[in-house]
Chains A and B, each alone.
Chain A
Amino acid sequence: MTGVLPVALEDATKVVQALLLSGKEYVCVMRLHKKTAEEKVKTVLSEFQGRLLQRPPIRSSVKRRLRIRTVYYMDFLEMQQRDVLLKIGCESGTYIRKICFDVGEVLGCGAHMHELRRTRAGPFTEDENHVTFYDVLYCVSKWRESEDEESLRKIILPMEKALELLPKVHIRDSAVAAVCHGAHLTAPGVLSLETGIEKDDEIALFTQKGEVAAFARALASSKKILTMDHGFVAETIRVMMDRDTYPKMWGKGGNT
């Protein structure tokens, strides 16, 4: 199995938590066990869009209890003899191997997953930042030999990239240190926010410079936050930034 595998370095490993829960996209070759009409395959595949009940396969790394997973889309790309090429967008924790098997059962002919490639993990895709082993090896040795910083920077992305799909709230400089010490975010600390936040949604708190301060849970919707002038707006779950990056401003009669 190949494809997109974001690897977080050192202190960036904190963002893995957010990344593990994000959706994935795969391109997969499903092999049918008998020749089947294309139309029939397409019809059955479309039935697999939506919420699915899945029991993880025997050889899996999680507890084998029945769980519900959402398949956002299941696109039929091509079919050659008994091989079907698919593109699947799904929630994290969906087993594609299991979907292929189940599609085979519904078709009545049996099927299995032949090949799989992940084309997306949350915000990470097969774009120009997607690097191979060889790219990494080349750039690292180039950096070691010539101390050319740029070659190392080329293969690494700032951890903020991993939080791109989360709704963002930008906060005041004076609120950053408080949040980084674990405080909840209050309404006056908010400068701007994105639409579509609902109460209890996971959000990311950003500084004006675009650095991530913390991973948080919203305590109100976007609409409500916009009109609030006091009170808690978000509950800090995980601090990402070093505590002493911004100066402490609380208790000094400032805005927070």
Chain B
Amino acid sequence: MDRINAPWEMERKLLIKAEEETDARFGCKPEERPLKDYVRLGIVNLDKISGPSSHEVTAWLKRLLDISHAGHGGTLETSFWEAGKSQSDRCSTRSFGRCD
């Protein structure tokens, strides 16, 4: 089978339908939001390390930034062995690995 264009390989052009000036009194550029709103409407592009699960990483970031909630886009599953290790560290009943 041939290579297919991935969504990020597609090019789009802008078509103008009408023109208008925007009113500076309302809203603002995303980069210029006040810090509080910038965080509230922000995303962190995190480099996940091997070991903790995506959910654990998200919870960790949430605690660190002291915010009410956070959600990640697309679970990066932990491998069978990693999951076993991290669960055995906590010695939970569902541990897959050896519980030292």
Contacts and interface: CB of A to CB of B under 8 A. Distances in A.
User: How many residues of A sit at the interface, in one of the four size bands?
Assistant: 35 or more
B68 A121 contact: no
Interface in A17-73: 19-20, 22-25, 46-50, 59-61, 70-73
Contacts of A46: 1
B4 A6 contact: no
B45 to A, nearest CB: 5
Given A72-B3, A210-B29, A9 B44 contact: yes
Given A2-B76, A209-B27, A222 B15 contact: yes
By DSSP majority rule, is chain A's interface helix, strand, loop, or mixed?
mixed
Given A153-B35, A192-B14, A192-B15, A133 B49 contact: yes
Given A159-B41, A246-B27, A23 B8 contact: yes
Nearest to B2: A49
22 contacts: A1-B78, A5-B73, A6-B73, A7-B58, A9-B42, A12-B40, A16-B73, A20-B73, A23-B6, A71-B4, A73-B3, A73-B6, A89-B6, A118-B48, A124-B45, A124-B73, A131-B44, A131-B45, A156-B42, A159-B42, A211-B28, A246-B27
Given A13-B71, A173-B20, A211-B27, 16 more contacts: A5-B57, A9-B62, A12-B40, A16-B71, A50-B1, A60-B77, A131-B47, A132-B49, A149-B35, A157-B45, A159-B43, A165-B7, A165-B8, A191-B19, A192-B15, A194-B13
